[in-house]
Every structure is written in C-alpha cells, then in structure tokens.
Amino acid sequence: MIPPFRQLLFTLLTSVYLSEPAKAEPPLITAEDLRKIAPFAKESYIHDIIDSRENLEAHGINTRLRMAHFLAQVMTETGGLKSLEQSGLDIAADPDLARDSDVALAAALAFWSRNAINKAADSHDRLKVRVLVNGPAANGFAQSKAWFNKIWNEALRDRELLGFEANGDLVPTLGSQDVASFDEILEETGFLDPASLALENAGNARRESILAFQRENGLRETGELDLATEDALLDPLQWRHRQAGPDDTALLNLLHRDATVRIDLKTGAVIVRSASGFEASSGRVTATAGGPSTAPSATSTEPSEQLAALLAMATPIYPEYAPVGDFNENPPSGVVQYGVIGDDDRFAATLEFDPLSHPFSSTVYILFKNKYGEEKSCTGAMVAPKAVLTAAHCIHSGTVKGAPYSDFVVVPGWVGGSINFGDCKALSAQVMGGWLAATSHTELHESDLGLIKLDCEIGKETGWFAMRALGEEEVGLEITVQGYASDRDPRAMQWLSKDWIREMQARKGFHRADTYGGTSGAPIYVSADNKTLVGIHTNTYFGLEEPWKSNNGFSPLTPERLAIISDWIDK
C-alpha cells in the first residue's frame, strides 16, 4: 500500500507530466492588430506595446474597453505610433523619451494610473478620457474618437469570442461614426462647411473638402478617405497647435455648474450669468398652472406646407452622453428597442386627453436645425405664456466646443393633420452653466436642462404646467412622460407612458416609462393631477453601471433649479 504522502506526491507529479500543457491566455491586442489599425507605425513601437503586456495588466488595462481607450490616446498623441516628437511628452526635459519608446510607454502608463483614467474608460466617457489626457480644451478629441472607432471595430470588438468580457452591446460604436469623426476633423481644419452635409449633394461636398485637403497637403487627389489621407488627418500637427480661443477661455473662467448661460438664438451670442443671486424655494409648489380658465376656442387648421416639410425631414436628436447603440444585433437584457424597456405600453395621448386642453395643449413639438443644417426634433413643456422648458441638448450641443441650434419652430398641441394654436419662433434660450462647462459625460447629464423664450405669448391660449420640486424621498411617485415620439405614426402625435420614480440623485432621476427619440425634453408630470411638472425627460438607458443601464433618465426639478427657472422666465 502506498503511503498517503507518496500517493499525493505521485498524483501531483503525474498531473504535471502526463496532463496536457496549459494553454496560454490569448493576448488582448496583437502586433497584427496594431499594424492593421496603424499601417504606418514604427515596428519598434509596435513591439514595445506587445512586450509591455504585463505592465499594461499591472496598470489595469486588461479589458477591451480600457485597452481601446488607452490605445486611442496613444495613437492620437503619436500620430499612429509614428513619432514621439509630437507626443506631448516633455522630451526637452528628458531626451531619453525620444530615444526609448519603452520609456515613453512606461511614462504614459504611469500617467494613466496616476490620473485614474481607467474609471472614465469603464464608463466609455470619451470626452472625460481626452480631458484627462489633454486638459480642459480637449484638443485632438475628434482624432481620438476616430482612433477609438478603428481600434474597436478592427481589433477589439470580436475579442469576446476569445473569452474576454462581454460588454460589446453596450459600446455604441457604429461604422457610420468613422465618417462622422473625419467630417469633424475636416470641419475643424477649415475644409468642410458642416451646413453642406445637410444638402442633397452632401456626398459631393465631402468629396470636395477631401480633395482640397489632399491638394494642400501634397497628397494624391482621390477625393476619398484613403489610408494616406486618413493618416494625414489623424496627424497631431492638425490639432497640436490649437489652444482654447480667447472666447472659450473667458467662458471657461466664468462657467461653473450652477451658473446660467443665456443664448441669443438669432446671433448665437452667449452670455454667462452667476447663480449667486438665486434663492432656492423651500416650498413644494413654486409655480401654479396657468392659462385660460376654460378650454380655449382654438381654430383647427392644417399645417402649412413649410411645417409639413419640416416635420417630414426631422429626425430625433440625442445627447452625446447617451449615444444610440446598435441594439438591433445585441440588445441589452430586457430592452425591446431604444427607450422601450420590456413591453411597449405607450399609447396616444388623445385616448386620455382632449387635444384642446391641458396637458395636451401645454406639450409642444420643437423643430430646429443643428450645426449641419439637419432638421431635428424634441418635445417641451409650456411653463409660462412665452416660455418652454426642455432639455439642454435640445438647445445646444454642449461644452465650450459645442454650438447652439437655430431656426426653432415651436408648435403646441400639434395632433396629426391639425394645428390648433399656431406656432411660434424662438428668440433666446437659457441653459445650466454646467452644460457648457462640462468636461465629462457625467457633468453633461447632470446639467441637461434649458428654457426657450418665444416671440409670442401662445401660453395664454394653451395654458401651462405648474411646477414643484422633487424630494429624494419621493421614490415611488407615479409619473407620466408625454411627448412626440419619432417612431410612431402619425409623427405629429403625443404618446404617453406611465411609471414611477425608480431612483433619485441630487441632479438626476430615473424611471422606466417607455420613450423613443423625439421625446427628449418631454414633460414628466405627476400622474395624480396631470398638471404638476416635476422633471424633464432627457435620455434612455446607457453605460455599464446601474442605475444608468436599466432606466431612462430625467432632469428633476429641485428647489435650486426652480429658483433659476423662475429667473429665466422673468428675464
């Protein structure tokens, strides 16, 4: 009989020598991947990255999303692993960085960890990642997005099949975004007029801009985004010289989250106002419903040909912090379609309300043009005779690099083929200071609230919502979301869905009422009385963490915000 210890030793030895050798873990990124992503990269730089596998893992760069973000920044700073001279590293102080790419990589990894950039990468917050690398100006942001798309689409998206973590369905990177990123670069370099992309000959406009860029940079004139042209557009020389302009610098110095920004929608001029004079109301109800005491005697008319044309062209606008994912292939668990969670329980608001009465008459369709001249749509809520509360992303694209929208047309109570109250144009708008001051997607979603001032007092005919502050203890309050969803026919119809407040944070609330594109800016009101506004719908589920990934979001009305809104209305 073999003694127990010898039996154990025999078992261990045979398991070592007789079993199959353990298979090595597949690498997250390979040299072949890097050559495909950056075809003009130096081989020595490629090998330094591949040889740094253990160092990358030591710094927590061990998921597809973290690797994609890290490599996107490395590619942006080095022009696709071509040169460290343009990398932003302090080569003058430390010449070894220029000679030794492995030293430069170690420095980049130390910087990455020291600034906790993995956290921003885990949230897929591309703006925050770029700000942490480059500073508040976020120069090279468009290039970093283009690099991320290349890295994800050409190398890392399919790594899930090799056993890496499965979060591909929550990283909304579509092939079409590659073109959009290069359009943005061509615009920043002065070769592309964004308004030309809204015309029927947008393809020709893009081709002409590429030809002009190729001509000026001594490239073969193909009019196509060939490898050489992409390489030139992604070169750090295209953005390294740019700094925040004097206007941007002044704005950044003045802006903070609780300031307010007034936008002249005729000229695009921006004025920053301090919020120091705003006094928060301690009461629940700070504004009562208003308008005619009886149902208005509106005259129903058909929309003009111009309005009908705008409606036909309009597509929804989405906030950059919650981009639309490709959910047709890999929908998140429980999601039917964008903004719809579980069974779609939306129904036409005309089944519950008279289109000539509140809240139908006080809910408005907002049409406007983005910077590319494309017709876009949102929803809003009348809160005074000539004031509409909506989402900030329905007014301005966000951050100091963004721009206000234009050519606003506001139509209250539009239903099918009937315009019951006419329409108004917009004179000015106000947004939270944090919407422009934001240096991350988190800061954007916490400031997504704005107000449009109209050129007519149409609210005297339609009526307007009462407003009150929400308390964090009001989780469970039954609410209704009512707006102009873009996926239903007729387009000019309000659709509503009911739920309750699932979670409250200081500047964000969450619900699971079903929504769709076009519902951005829609009123969220108390279901018990159908007239008290407590928030503005802003976004659908997004990201990798709760409560974001399982709930739709809204900007709640707080005592501080009600004081600011009151000031907006008065001014």
R_g of the chain computed on alpha carbons? 27
pLDDT value for 164 = 58
What whole-number distance in Å separates Cα of residue 493 and Cα of residue 420?
A: 13
Lowest mean pLDDT among 29-43, 90-104, 209-223, 455-469: 90-104
pLDDT value for 94 = 54
Lowest mean pLDDT among 168-182, 196-210, 260-274, 331-345: 168-182
pLDDT tens by residue, 120-141: 998 888 999 999 999 888 899 9
Q: For tokens 């005259």, name the residue.
A: 299
pLDDT value for 357 = 93
In this predicted structure, the answer to whether residue 165 has a pLDDT above a threshold of 70 is no
pLDDT value for 334 = 40
Distant-in-sequence contacts of 106-114, Cβ < 8 A, 24+ apart: 106/52, 106/55, 108/74, 108/77, 109/52, 109/55, 109/56, 109/59, 109/61, 110/59, 112/59, 112/61, 112/70, 113/59, 113/60
The better pLDDT of the pair 295, 455 is held by 455
Q: Which of 380, 382, 383, 401 is nearest to 392 (CA)?
A: 380
pLDDT tens by residue, 314-329: 999 988 887 654 433 3
pLDDT value for 359 = 96
pLDDT value for 287 = 58
- Across the range 164-181, mean pLDDT stands at 54
Q: Which of 17, 35, 92, 33 is nearest to 67 (CA)?
A: 33
In this predicted structure, the answer to whether residue 465 has a pLDDT above a threshold of 90 is yes
What whole-number distance in Å separates Cα of residue 386 and Cα of residue 383?
A: 8
What whole-number distance in Å separates Cα of residue 196 and Cα of residue 187?
A: 11
CA distances from 46 to 78, 86, 214, 409 (A): 12, 17, 28, 53
What whole-number distance in Å separates Cα of residue 255 and Cα of residue 398?
A: 13
Contact 363, 482 (CB under 8 A): yes
pLDDT value for 291 = 64
3-state DSSP percent of the chain in helix, strand and coil, to 5: 35, 20, 45
Sorting pLDDT into bands at 50, 70 and 90, what band is 150?
very high
Q: Which of 334, 129, 303, 147 is nearest to 233 (CA)?
A: 147
What percent of the chain lies above the pLDDT cut of 90? 57
Structure-block tokens of residue 483: 């707006």
What is the rounded average pLDDT for all residues in the chain? 83
pLDDT tens by residue, 188-224: 999 998 878 777 777 899 999 999 999 999 999 999 9
Structure-block tokens of residue 529: 């009385």
pLDDT tens by residue, 361-393: 999 999 999 988 889 999 999 999 999 999 999
DSSP category for residue 275: S
pLDDT value for 163 = 57
Q: For tokens 């062209």, name the residue.
A: 313
Pairing of strands 315-316, 375-384: parallel
pLDDT value for 411 = 96
- Across the range 229-238, mean pLDDT stands at 94
Instruction: Report the alpha-carbon angle 60-63-68, nearest 5.
Output: 100
Sorting pLDDT into bands at 50, 70 and 90, what band is 353?
very high
In this predicted structure, the answer to whether residue 302 has a pLDDT above a threshold of 80 is yes
Contact 390, 538 (CB under 8 A): no
In this predicted structure, the answer to whether residue 232 has a pLDDT above a threshold of 80 is yes
- Across the range 93-106, mean pLDDT stands at 65
Sorting pLDDT into bands at 50, 70 and 90, what band is 43?
very high
In this predicted structure, the answer to whether residue 95 has a pLDDT above a threshold of 90 is no
Structure-block tokens of residue 107: 């420095």
- Across the range 225-246, mean pLDDT stands at 82
pLDDT value for 284 = 42
The better pLDDT of the pair 256, 231 is held by 231
What whole-number distance in Å separates Cα of residue 35 and Cα of residue 363?
A: 54
pLDDT value for 72 = 97
Contact 322, 427 (CB under 8 A): no
Question: What DSSP element (H or E) covers 389?
Answer: strand 387-390
Sorting pLDDT into bands at 50, 70 and 90, what band is 104?
confident
pLDDT tens by residue, 238-294: 888 765 444 555 555 556 666 788 999 988 888 887 655 444 443 444 456 676 644
In this predicted structure, the answer to whether residue 71 has a pLDDT above a threshold of 60 is yes
Q: What is the pTM of this model?
A: 0.81
The strand pairing partners of 23, in sequence order, are none
In this predicted structure, the answer to whether residue 172 has a pLDDT above a threshold of 80 is no
pLDDT tens by residue, 517-552: 999 999 999 999 999 999 999 998 876 678 988 999
- Rounded to 10 degrees, the C-alpha dihedral 465/468/474/477 comes to -20
In this predicted structure, the answer to whether residue 3 has a pLDDT above a threshold of 90 is no
Q: Which of 122, 495, 514 is nearest to 335 (CA)?
A: 514
Contact 515, 552 (CB under 8 A): yes
In this predicted structure, the answer to whether residue 88 has a pLDDT above a threshold of 60 is no
Task: Tally the C-alpha atoms within 13 A of residue 567's C-alpha that lie toward its C-beta.
Answer: 22
pLDDT value for 477 = 97
pLDDT tens by residue, 482-515: 999 999 888 899 999 999 999 999 999 999 999 9
pLDDT value for 399 = 87
pLDDT value for 519 = 96
In this predicted structure, the answer to whether residue 479 has a pLDDT above a threshold of 90 is yes
Contact 541, 325 (CB under 8 A): no
- Rounded to 10 degrees, the C-alpha dihedral 332/338/342/344 comes to -160
Taken in order of first residue, the domains within the chain and their CATH numbers are 31-238 (no CATH), 281-391+403-422+460-558 (2.40.10.10)
Sorting pLDDT into bands at 50, 70 and 90, what band is 408?
very high
